[in-house]
Amino acid sequence: MKRDSCCEKKKLRFKRFLRMLSNDPSLLSREDEGEARSLAEYFAYSGYFPRNEPVDLSLLVSLLLKRSGHGADSEKMMEFVMNGGTIDAFMDAARAE
């Protein structure tokens, strides 16, 4: 029973995070940034190649951040956004560290 409650809390937290991302002005499409990258390009850049298993997006984001030279991981990014920050502000703060 306790496990179900924990899973439900994680789901609700994740839904809240996605809702916050959908309202993040720094994620709006920008014409000056060129074409969007494919998921395959992100896999190649990060070095993450899942084989016949579900994609762990948290791991992918963490690897992308690390590959980009940031010390933060996906959990820190999620906390930052959940506390009212934007992705642009997170990236700027991570670069400053």
| Residue 38 backbone dihedrals phi, psi, to 5 degrees | -85, 160
- pLDDT attached to residue 10: 86
Q: What is the distance between the alpha carbons of residues 73 and 43, in angstroms, rounded to a whole number?
A: 16
Q: What is the distance between the alpha carbons of residues 80 and 26, in angstroms, rounded to a whole number?
A: 14
- pLDDT attached to residue 7: 86
pTM here is 0.78
User: Averaged in consecutive runs of 10 residues, what is the pLDDT profile of the chain (97 residues)?
Assistant: 76 91 82 73 94 93 91 92 93 76
Task: For the chain, report the end-to-end CA distance as a whole number of angstroms.
Answer: 41
How is the chain split among helix, strand and coil, in percent rounded to 5? 65, 0, 35
- pLDDT attached to residue 75: 93
